[in-house]
Amino acid sequence: MLKRQIAAVAFPLIGLLMCSSLGCNAMLNGWLDPSQVGRFRGPAVTQELRRSISIADEPELYLQGGEPTPDDLVVPATDYVLQAADFVDLNVYELMFPGQPWYQTRQISNGGFITIPQVKDRIRAAGLTALELEEHLKQILIEQQILTQPEVAVLVREARGRTYNILGAVRVPRSEVIPRPDYRLIDALAAAGGVTVQDSFNVREPTIKTVYVFRSEPEIKPEPPVPAPRSEPQPPPAFSSVAQTQPEAPTGHWVWVNGEWKFVASAPAATLPAESATAPAVESPLEREPRMEPEAELPLTPEEEIWERLVAQMPSQRVLAIPLERLQEGDPRYNVVIRDKDTIWVPAPLVGEYYVMGNIYRPGVYGLNGRDVSLRQAIAAAGGLSPLADPTRLELIRRIGPDQEQIVQVNLDRIFAGMEQDVFLKPDDIINVGTNPVMPFLAVLRNAFRATYGFGFIYDRNFADIDSFEGQTNPTDRRRSEQRTRFGFGL
């Protein structure tokens, strides 16, 4: 009997020691209850949240954009350079009839040319500003003896070559012409219908935190080096003069004496005889290190050469990360000027469901609803861990491809204790909270103790026949009654 009692107490205690040795920090948060997870001791901890759980789990596209610079807020002061597909208004006085102006609207061709009456050849317009095109037209009219004193006016009606693209979670994604030089980011978002999402989940106001602007940087050509001015060559200084101008550094060492460092000079070296002092110094040849031959690079295949050439021709890009909330609040630092060939991308939030199962209070299906939900938030939304849950045994099942999934073991106890990083969930994630054979015994052990304050009465049904307040039948009479029923007589 004593052995059974010792075994009944020793088995849960051994399980408690095993759980503590495995790093179950939650055992110190409650009475033999590992499901009480959290960090209730120690200083504050700041950690980053992960978006991937392994190498095979590729993270979503989260760009590391930079902050806008003051140059991104300045309206360009340079004149617009005409490009193909632009519309220009041409006004030439007395081109067709004396005393009457000739007015026409021309579109620059894909090759960059325009045509006007009386001029024989096509006129190059792409690559010139409006003022440069006026001077060019005047020169042509004079050279071809059409007008002696031409009066020409050129006005840019529609700069179709100066465009921007807006993509992502906007109502009207499109490519649009920049209407004016001071066209800014808030104007582009308003022209696209605002930030919104239209899908089957009926999410109209998702949580979008950042808007990205991809901007092409102009290619900066290195300036040629400026040759140094020529000067008369000077003879190198004599060795003896250099030796005399450079003071000799004292030789010695430092020692620690009476709580402070002191420098102890060493004895001076013996001087050489006069004959050796006047002898010419012979420089010893410098020992050169062996030259390492560069490793021969492997030749590129024709396909790799094509890709290398295409990548080299692509202009360099810069990514601006604009906080959407600050922009909508009117912060002028983030309302950048839209420039030619800019691409505005509003990333759509993750919308879908994740699943919670196992030893949890409210297992089921939960929605992401366009917000970043971490593993801790998912456990809290499901009501927390059940009494039989083991926080050190949790598995996260995630799809890593069209027909592949990965199962990763996660220590939820260390995440709640601030010892490991939390992870963001993705659509179709499955959270399975496990248990172990020790948890039922711990649940029985922590529920086996009762504390009663004041006066109380406990009635146990296990001894109802003896403790009942009703009349009891004498065992002898009951035995005789049973014998009469079976044999017809009783002793």
Share of the chain above pLDDT 90, in %: 30
User: For 351-443, CATH number?
Assistant: 3.10.560.10
Domain map (residue ranges) of the chain:
87-158, 163-219+315-346, 351-443
Is 189 strand, coil or helix? helix
134 contacts 153 by C-beta, under 8 angstroms? yes
Instruction: Name residue 108's amino acid.
Output: I
pLDDT at 11 over 70: no
Note the pLDDT of residue 204. 47
Q: Spell out the residues 6+ positions from residue 168 whose beta carbon is closer than 8 angstroms to its own.
A: 344, 345, 346, 347, 348
The larger pLDDT score, comparing residue 438 to residue 285, is at 438
CA atoms within 13 A on the CB side of 462: 2
User: For 163-219+315-346, CATH number?
Assistant: 3.10.560.10
319 contacts 214 by C-beta, under 8 angstroms? yes
Cα separation, 213 vs 335, in Å, equals 11
Cα dihedral 463, 465, 469, 471 in deg (nearest 10): -170
**Within 10 Å of residue 53's Cβ, how many Cβ atoms?**
21
The whole-chain average pLDDT of the chain stands at 77
* 484 phi, psi to nearest 5 deg: -65, -35
Note the pLDDT of residue 327. 92
Lowest mean pLDDT across 362-366, 389-393, 462-466: 462-466
Helix (H) or strand (E) holding 2: helix 2-21
> Which residue's entry shows tokens 């205690």?
13
| Beta pairing, strands 364-367 & 353-358 | antiparallel
Residues present in the chain in total: 491
Residues 153-212 have pLDDT tens digits of 999 888 887 889 999 889 999 999 898 889 999 999 999 998 876 444 444 445 788 899
Note the pLDDT of residue 454. 65
Q: Where are the beta strands (DSSP E) in 53-171?
A: 87-93, 101-107, 113-114, 123-124, 152-158, 163-168
The larger pLDDT score, comparing residue 306 to residue 107, is at 107
Residues 57-96 have pLDDT tens digits of 776 655 667 889 999 999 988 888 888 888 999 999 888 8
Architecture of domain 87-158: 2-Layer Sandwich (3.30)
pLDDT at 12 over 60: no
pLDDT at 244 over 50: no
pLDDT at 290 over 80: no
Q: Is 252 left (phi over 0), alpha (psi -120 to 50) or beta?
A: left
Q: Spell out the residues 6+ positions from residue 326 whose beta carbon is closer than 8 angstroms to its own.
A: 333, 334
Instruction: Name residue 110's amino acid.
Output: N
> Which residue's entry shows tokens 């039922």?
440
Note the pLDDT of residue 457. 63
pLDDT at 374 over 70: yes
Please calculate the CA angle 356-361-365 and round it to the nearest 5 degrees.
Answer: 30
Q: Spell out the residues 6+ positions from residue 300 whose beta carbon is closer than 8 angstroms to its own.
A: 308
Listed residue (366, 371, 420) closest to 391, CA to CA: 420
Structure tokens at 426: 């993705």
Mean pLDDT of 399-405: 87
- 158 exposure class (CB count in 10 Å sphere: 0-12, 13-18, 19+): middle
390 contacts 435 by C-beta, under 8 angstroms? yes
Q: Spell out the residues 6+ positions from residue 55 whose beta carbon is closer than 8 angstroms to its own.
A: none
Structure tokens at 177: 């012409």
Task: Give the global pTM.
Answer: 0.58
Residue ranges of alpha helices (H) inside 81-206 are 130-143, 185-191
pLDDT at 232 over 50: yes
Domains 87-158 and 163-219+315-346 share a fold: no
Indicate the pLDDT class of residue 276, thresholds 50, 70 and 90: very low
Note the pLDDT of residue 248. 54
Indicate the pLDDT class of residue 460, thresholds 50, 70 and 90: low
Note the pLDDT of residue 240. 45
Most confident among 203-217, 242-256, 325-339 (mean pLDDT): 325-339
pLDDT at 252 over 70: no
**Within 10 Å of residue 18's Cβ, how many Cβ atoms?**
12
Mean pLDDT of 351-380: 92
Cα separation, 125 vs 159, in Å, equals 13
Listed residue (92, 104, 201) closest to 152, CA to CA: 92
214 contacts 342 by C-beta, under 8 angstroms? yes
Cα separation, 162 vs 183, in Å, equals 12
